[in-house]
Structure 1
């Protein structure tokens, strides 16, 4: 098989009316380490393509070394890992699953598809993660109602760790397990230098094409309880029992990662720390270059953690800046720069119009004012300067 010498550039050439064609700057394009082709060649030559063989095993071992978790399972996607997590934690129809309002739909979608009821809690105005104090109040109220959640699922939003210790402490009082959605948080750190997600019963990671470490797809479920991962692994392999024939006591899924994706992820992982440092530098450049403009702000990083700054998210106050979030997004788009509003809170999504919620005003305000800026670790300084100049041009004069 012939292999290409290089992958095409992540940015595509797109025409814009009234100007020469320009390279469109993507929000978070894949960043290749340079060793992926060799890893793919070795995998293909080995004859292993299915979710079996040495590549998935090696990838899971590397994930353990990187995150510190005792056991991990590489999956077809982060969403698949969440689904398996809900299964092994015993989620049943009509159970409540609690999550922050400000997150991507995949955080709760598998549980909803299993018949569970999501409840959305507001986030903190500084770190944008699930509010631990609000959670503690709601758990106490739920205990009085006799309807505690089956699982609480905080999120490490945009690569910044939630206050996981406080969340776990609130849940431990009532015996409620925590599964941390750390899909975008590879390389992020929390208290004590622990990797994102450590301390929760389960943690979930994603290796989608836009993530800081990408396999072009894929995800992982990790835990310090090997028995939970063993159960998830059984379900991920169609729940086949150990018989010569196909024997099934329950139904499972085809959720094991392919050798091809595992090989790519394995080639990417050694670059993780460099990627984190580069994205943090990109954030710092944005913050410094825009510091003098009124009406702009960024997510605050707590002293006890280190965000991987997967995406830099700018907050735009129209009264101070002179233009709103959407005006700035359109201006960037016209300049060939992709940007995107912050997550639309799940309690405002039509799919969850009937779901119970607590608060939501902070999450709604962050959606109205938040704008994700290009943050790819392969972004050239000149490209970042393009973004900065557009933002500065539209500030109040």
Structure 2
């Protein structure tokens, strides 16, 4: 499907609503004022009359293709588009040769590459000489993080601009334009109208597609939220278990637990489960939190985390997910200590630096007479036989132990109440 905001001319009356509402100038693009508004970096390029190569990174339905077309229009460049999904080496060569011919005739070319992250590394390298020579001004569009998916050499020759998901204000502007185009109001109550914006999840194209369905309904009473849900299929949340969104959400979950905020931790857990994340992956991460962030401050936490994993194994979904939620709340409200974590890091560092350093003679094993004659085990005291039943620690390269008052970041144990949430009563925040 072509992009919602792709610049276009007149469309036939039976064209999809999204086609008929495509912006015809950059001023009509909604939701990207940080790039296109007064003082925005792309606006400054246009005012200077010279475009640089760029990567437009953002979710679907936010205007990547449209901005590229309108940029070419505003700067007087010839617009040429290819898709990394359908194009190969032959298509790229043809595009470059065409652009070279235009350049010889004094015409600049804006080469728009949709889904540019789908080109492999070698294909991406093929752009470099043509960008460097100025044969094309490259504008790539991607929904994936460019730092993971694009060559460093290509990124160094381009500016990366991040397009934002459309907020309610921007989506509301689209609905207003749609109603003006159709010359009638959407058959929705105010509450249902707000719910429609939520269903769009920041995607303007999807919002207009749903609106077109609603405009086609026969006359009658405006739909409330429940009737709207029965009319439209709820969109699955944007989540890819192998992409950046996965790492962003698991980071948010872990840091919420670490920050003793059970409300936030439950929310991010639910987001990942609703997006289709493997619950056992989450269970493994919860066990890690218990070891890494709580440790000796609450040794029970590791048992709770492992029990949650075993419970999910036994019950499966959806009941087993409640065990994961219970573990997350326990960990978020538990006192925190990184004493063992820091002590082990220090011990590992010392072990690497000291190599084959021998233990002190008095704590070496002495199973033979020769070894005893060499002083192995000499002076060792059996701790239970001492008056205190405990002796001072033997000499250690680390000089401190987990939880000691001298260990960095582990001076005592901290307990934070977070939002004030406690088991048995509702969360303190909505």
TM-score when normalising by structure 1: 0.24
| Richer in strand (by share) | 1
| Richer in helix (by share) | 2
Larger Rg: 2
Which structure is richer in relative contact order (CA contacts within 8 A, separation 6 or more)?
1
